[in-house]
Structure formats: C-alpha cells, structure tokens
Structure 1
Amino acid sequence: MPSVPRSSQASRALRRSQSTRITATKFECAAQAHLLAQKRRIPLATKYNVNSNVTAASTKISLPRALSRPVLGEVETSSLVGAYPDLAGIPAEYIRDRLALSRPKMRAALQAVEISISKSTLPTELGILMNEVVSFACPTHMFAVYNDAPIPVGHKRQISLFPIHDLVFGMHCTNLPTLPASRPSSSSSHTTVPVVPLRLPSPATFSLLHAYLYTQQPATLLASLARPCETDLLQLAAHANKIHGLWRNACLLGVVDAQLYDVIEASWESTIAAMQACS
C-alpha cells in the first residue's frame, strides 16, 4: 500500500480540525439564539429581593407596550352658553387660547380656597370662604373624585375634593358630565358651589390632570412623570401605574390636548424601556 506523504496527512488533519470548530461554532450560535428567543418571551417579573417574600416566580407584571391616543372631536360649547352668553358662536379652540389670560388668577384662587364642611356625608353644595384672592376668580364647582373599587366592611369610601372652574374643564373635556348651574357670589364673606361626584379610574392621579389644565405647561408635567432612577422593577411598575392612571383619566374625560398625550406617551416609553432593561 503506497504511503501518504506527511504533508498531505497534516493538511487533512488541519481541515478536519477546522470543520470540527466550524460545526461547534454553529451549535453554539444556535444555542445562544434559542436562549435569546426564550428570554424575549419571558414576561416581566420582579427580581428576587432578600428582604421581601416576593419572588420573580410569584409576581408578574403585564403592561401594554404603548398607550393609544384617543380619537377625540371638539368640545361642545352649548352647555356653557347659558352661564356665558358671550361665548355663543365662538370656536372652542379660540376660547381655550383666551383662557391663558385668566389662568394665573384662577390658579391663585384655587390655592386660596378654604372649604367649609361639617357633615359626615357628601352634601350637594359646599361653602367656600371668600377672601380677596378667591373673589377675583371664584371656583364654580367642587369635584368629589372617587372610584368604585370595593371597600372593606365598616370603612367609608375615600373622596377627594377639587375646586374647579366650569370654563376650564368644559373647554378641555369632551366627556365631562353635565354640570349644574352655579352662580358664586363675590360680595359676601362666603359662597356655596355645587358638588359634582366624579367617578374616575385613578383618583390618585387626578391632581396631575387638574394642575395641567390650569398651567398648560407640558415641561412641568413631564418633570412630574420623570421615572425614578432606581432599577427596582416594583418601583418602576408603580411609576408606570401612575402614568397609566393619568392616561385613563384623560381618556375617560375626553381631554382635548395633544401636548398632554405627547407627555404621557414619552413618559410611558421611557418607563417601559427601563422595566425591560432590568427584567
């Protein structure tokens, strides 16, 4: 049998070695791809905390990737014409722009409001103590904000009171409930305004929407919705719930303000990205 030159044997051994390494590399890449695919399908779950009884296996968080922007029409001004006859025939967008001149006085009046309440049950009217600041732009109504979540036996439902001006909310909300007539007096030491029960998905975040409608400052709202620096998934989830609550309130009331939804969407995307990074 003819002998094979050593150079040919070495060449064949080298090719077999290269082929083995290529095959091994392919298997390794395939395994990594399979592992990454599995990770992409894993739902968000809390990391284990040695100081907590909650583990990743027992707590899962399911959130939408994006918050859809509601399709809204323009507000109807007819419901406000009775209280403000001069607004008849004027476009709502123009009225919103003109409100910028009155907002500083309105905000100052809201901050100076002192509520007089002596009943254990929610009345249909509430007294407001008048002073020089309040009299310049006295609120017209009092929102009693609540939700319909179940409450323990023996407990009372929590209600938060917010003084408001019908013109501000009426010009920004397409789904606002009909507000009763209100004629606050500016001459006496106190006045009464109607109480309007307002059921919302997230009463805890209504203060953000209330403040925004009176300031119209997206940068301030964005700062209020800045996500926490911590990488704890539970804290990020709580922050996401805050943004989601504001969004749900705005959608339910039909708030007409593109900049509001711009801020909500930007804050949501940032928070969801942070949650994915630490999950």
Structure 2
Amino acid sequence: MFQVASHPAAFHLREHSRRPSYDRPHTPKHSSSASNAAIQLPRTLTRPPFTDISRDALSTAAPDLASVPTEFIRHHLLAKAPQMQAGLTALAPSHIAKSYPRAHLPPALIVPLRNVAGPPPSYPTHALAVGAPPPKGLREAPADAPQTIFAVHAVVLAAHCAKLPRLPPSHSSGGPNATLPVLPITLPSPQAFTLLHQFIYTHRIDTLLASLLPLPAPFLDSLSSSSASGGPSAHQILTATLATPTVLHTLSAHLASASAGSLTTLMSHAAHVKELWQDMVALGVYDVVLWDALDLAWEVVLGGMNLAAGVGQ
C-alpha cells in the first residue's frame, strides 16, 4: 500500500507565531479568541513550497505529454473533461461507489460499462482505494478498515498530484467491462478527497466552495461565470476578495447567519476546510486558484466564528 504522509501531521489549535510568505498584507486580522471557550485556531493554513508534478509518473500515464508544461497539460485535460466524466458515468455504480475492507481489496476491479448519452466516453484507467491513517499507536489500519473506491484517469492524477507514485500499468477498457487496477492509498481525510477528485476534473471553484461553506449564491455565481463571460477570472475574484475587508466581512456575516450563530456548526465548517488542506498538502496539489479558494474559505470561517463569539458580549 502506498501511504501519503499527512503533512503537516498535526493540526494545532493555536495561533501561529509567524505568517507564511504567501499571506497578503491586506488580509484582515481576526481576534485570536475564536469562541467564548477560548478556542484558538491557526491564523493561516500554511501553503507548502511549490513542487512540480512528477514527470516520471506523467510519462507512464501519458508518454506524449511528458515534456509538455504543466499548465498546458491541465488546459488540455480540462477540454477533455466532458469525455472523461462520461467515462466515469459509464461505470456501473454498484461496482464503483462502495467501500472494501482493507484486507479484502482486489488487485483490480472489473466494472460493467453502461451506455451513456453525450460525448464519446474516455474510460478511467485505475481505481484508488482511499483509506484513513491507522489509529494512534498502530502501524497500520485494521484489516476491516474501509477503503473508499474512486475511479480515476491516471493522466489526471499525474497532472495534479505531485506526490503520487507511478501508477501500475492499466488495461484498455472497452466491450462490456472496464478493468481498473487498484492502488491503495492512505490520506488524512478520505471524505475530503471527494472534493479534490471532483475538482481535478472540472476545476469548478464555485462547486468546491459551495461544498465547504454556505456562501451567497451571487458570489458563487460570479466564480462560475467569470471566464465564460469575459470578466475577471476566478483567480482575480478570489485575490480581490481576500484583499477587501468589507467583502470578507459580508461573507463571514452570511456564514455566521447561515450557521445560526452556532460555534459548533462553524467549528465543523473549519474542520472540513482543514481536512481539505491536509489532503492537498499530502497529495502535492499545487493549483494556485484552488489554494486561493482554500485561503478564502479559512478567512471566512475565522470571521464567522469571531462574529458568532461576539454575540451578546
């Protein structure tokens, strides 16, 4: 089993004494007292140094792309996203949308293929079996620990995840079945990988943020329609928002209201953002817009908690 390190390994509930170099000078500073119970959260979620994707893993997945710059590869894959998503949809859900006990993972999944409407499908090449880290004090997870199955295209993973190893050879899919070699991996949060799995195919920042936090629909709509309408890009919208305290306050107030001022609910939102951060670091996902979205989600959560904690004081 390939195990991805959970770095940073611990999520310390304390204020960081120094700010990472990517922090923006105009980002508003929230109070360190995140709740009446003196809960303290890190001021920022550290963005690790950039590491480019593995050319070895990429050359195995797509030899013709081995020397192509990363951004061109991702642009090319995004253009093919409808075909790849059609290939994912073609897999019989009864065979792919499930979990296996760790000790009973098959070396490969043979999945029936369904006819799907739309563009000609590009079928996935592998299945990731994603499990959680073993309990503290154990060297490996129990034999019955669930491993959640995700169908993937090797080239998509290689183009986005710098810390994944070379995937095993795949079999051509066609006829009635797809044969998907299974790669077991351990991630800090298998649940958060659901969001990453969707993002690396669609690059939909609005969908990802909506899955993390209840944000105003007009703001999410601006992110989804920005490029198509010829307006500012999602990256420009996110960075402008992070640099505008009044807009951040509006988003935080919306979140606090949507959470009914409940610090328990807001802590749950903070935990989801933290889990996504851990998986991004562990896998080596260095998409700039995705990191901007993570920064924004964290700022809004901190602001919402501060507003909720201030009620009645």
TM range (shorter): 0.7 to 0.9
Alpha-carbon distance change, 122 to 62 in structure 1, aligned in 2, over 3 angstroms:
farther
Are 2:140 and 1:132 equivalent residues in the alignment? no
Aligned residue identity for 1:182: S
Are 2:70 and 1:112 equivalent residues in the alignment? no
Other-structure match for 2:132: 147
Are 2:230 and 1:242 equivalent residues in the alignment? no
Alpha-carbon distance change, 125 to 155 in structure 1, aligned in 2, over 3 angstroms:
closer
**1:150 counterpart SS class:** coil
Match of 1:261 among 287, 291, 299: 291
CA distance in 1, matches of 2:193, 2:95: 22
How far off its partner does 1:160 sit? 1.0
CA distance in 1, matches of 2:290, 2:48: 12
**With CA pairs under 8 Å and 6+ residues apart, which has the higher RCO, 1 or 2?**
2
Other-structure match for 1:170: 158
Q: TM-score, normalised by structure 2?
A: 0.65
Contact kept, 8 Å, 1:145 with 1:203, in 2: the verdict is yes
**Which stretch of structure 1 is more off in the superposition, 227-236 or 130-139?**
130-139
Aligned residue identity for 1:194: P
Other-structure match for 1:10: none
Output one character per residue of 1:236-261: Cα deviation in whole Å (capped at 9) or x when no partner: 00110001100110111011200001
CA distance in 2, matches of 1:78, 1:257: 19
Aligned residues: 226
Contact kept, 8 Å, 1:61 with 1:237, in 2: the verdict is no
CA distance in 1, matches of 2:270, 2:143: 28
CA distance in 2, matches of 1:69, 1:202: 18
Are 2:122 and 1:122 equivalent residues in the alignment? no
Other-structure match for 1:194: 181
How far off its partner does 1:83 sit? 4.3
Seq. identity, %: 36
Task: Map 1:49-64 to 2 at 5 A.
Answer: 56=37, 61-64=39-42
Are 2:79 and 1:101 equivalent residues in the alignment? yes
Which structure has the greater CA radius of gyration?
1
**1:175 counterpart SS class:** coil
**2:79 counterpart SS class:** coil
How far off its partner does 1:77 sit? 2.4
CA distance in 1, matches of 2:39, 2:153: 38
Q: TM-score, normalised by structure 1?
A: 0.73
CA distance in 2, matches of 1:88, 1:170: 10
Aligned residue identity for 2:301: T
Contact kept, 8 Å, 2:61 with 2:158, in 1: the verdict is no
How far off its partner does 1:92 sit? 2.2
Contact kept, 8 Å, 2:263 with 2:308, in 1: the verdict is yes
Aligned residue identity for 1:206: F
**2:171 counterpart SS class:** coil
How far off its partner does 1:224 sit? 1.9
CA distance in 2, matches of 1:77, 1:106: 22
Alpha-carbon distance change, 94 to 275 in structure 1, aligned in 2, over 3 angstroms:
same
